Amino acid sequence: MRVLVLFAHPVETSYGAALHKAVVEELKAAGHEVDDCDLYAENFTAAMTRQERLDYQEVGPNRTHVEPYVQRLLAAEALVVVHPVWNFGYPAILKGFLDRVFLPGVSFKLVNRKARPSLHNIRKCAFVCTYGGTRFRAWLMGDPPRKMAKRHMRITIKPGAPLGFYACYDMNRSTPESRERFMARVRAAMRSF
């Protein structure tokens, strides 16, 4: 299976980077073809330009500035997103990727001014993320990253496609042992992806 791995963390020595490395290693070891998209290493520009916004609903011209990323997304059969949770949301670079690449004609079609999800080439999806706070604290805030993954992404990809959500909560008080347990869980999930 061709798997697009989206990674969004600026520090190469972070626990998030270690998770990213483990995800890529395990997917490759399981025989998957991996397109490893490290948004920071690739200097992805998160901010949508004025022209991009003006062209947003024009299928074709709306892809001009991000065509290589659109092609990578459309060539994928699966998607794994590895990211930290900052301020109860995605890092800006990942949010920018979703804003700029998940376009009309790419991830959805506008039919009678209504969005119809169409990223049906993605037959499997997983999110691997870290939260500074506890699960309870995230729950009190509504846990937007979990909802975005489990609701928005679920309806955007192929209907009925499996979607895994692997979250390491309470990183602020994590221990080497708790991080190793989560790493083992992520490795096992990617081995059987």
Within 2-158, residue ranges assigned H as helices are 15-29, 50-55, 67-75, 92-101, 135-140, 144-147, 154-156
Give the number of other CB atoms < 10 A from CB of residue 143.
20
Burial class (CB in 10 A: 0-12, 13-18, 19+), 128: buried
Q: Sheet harboring 33-38: ordered strands across?
A: 33-38, 2-7, 78-85, 124-131, 163-168
Please give the pLDDT value at position 92. Answer: 97
2-188 homologous superfamily: Flavodoxin domain (3.40.50.360)
Give the number of other CB atoms < 10 A from CB of residue 73.
23
Entry pTM: 0.95
Three-state DSSP class for 119? strand
Angle between helices 92-101 and 67-75 (to 10 degrees): 80
Extract the residue ranges of the chain whose pLDDT is less than 70.
none
DSSP class per residue in 20-50 = HHHHHHHHHHTT-EEEEEETTTTT---SPPH
Distance between CA 99 and CA 72 in Å, rounded? 16
Q: Give 132's DSSP letter.
A: S
